[in-house]
Amino acid sequence: MSRIAEVFSQLKREGRRGLIPFLTAGDPDLETTYHLLIEIARAGASVIELGVPFSDPVADGPTIQRASERALRHRFGIAEILDVVAEFRKKSETPVMLFSYFNPLLQFGIEHLGREASVAGVDGVLVTDLVPEEAVEFSQKMKTHDLDMIFLVAPTSTDARLHMVAERSSGFIYAVSRAGVTGARTEISSEAEHLVSRVRRFSPLPVAVGFGISNAQQVAEVWRYADAAVVGSALVSEIEKLSGSPDLVQHVGEFVRHLFPHEADEM
């Protein structure tokens, strides 16, 4: 059983739901990314999504686009990101999944990625622009190295697509709350709950909901019907606002702690 599967299994046994924060690797720099991973794990993250910066992140809104731009100025690659994960793995067992576009992974080499990511302690991969129909070889390589393959589904996904994703996914299924790009929102689309119920008809895997979740109240809403909530742009925005501050890591940790619904009244 993978680390991701173990975490969701434990959450289910305890009657709890998960929180999945997202970071862009290298924003503001790789050393800070390492410390943020440690702090976010300590803050209670169930799984951490580590974004691979890309020059043309078409599925991301302006907040994560700017994070990628800042990170790319440091001119590092996937090897350096995996080094950070390997150092983090010495301190924590919290699962880490790479969240990436296909081009950087292809340039690194698919077999090389599977082997090196596994050695570093990565637990899964989600490739935003790699559809299931075209992911057979990639998925096989990842699974050979015991990496979970996570796919996105959206409110516009047909039942046939949901069935295909269910057959080819492991770890969990990522349900996009609405059509469009990433970004914090004041409310969660009503389509998300319906999408999760549709996914459950095809798969017993946990379902995480992301896109637009930015505070404890929204996390609580998602927890009513999904197994985990993903918080990306709101967290990346905090990192952007605190860039250069010696208290960045500590403040981001507090931000994550206050995403848990039991903290909502103290925000």
Report, as residue numbers or ranges, the catalytic residues: 49, 60
CB 265 within 8 A of CB 247: no
CB 253 within 8 A of CB 39: yes
Q: CA-to-CA distance for 194 and 180, rounded, in angstroms?
A: 17
Do you find a cis peptide bond into 204, omega within 30 degrees of 0? no
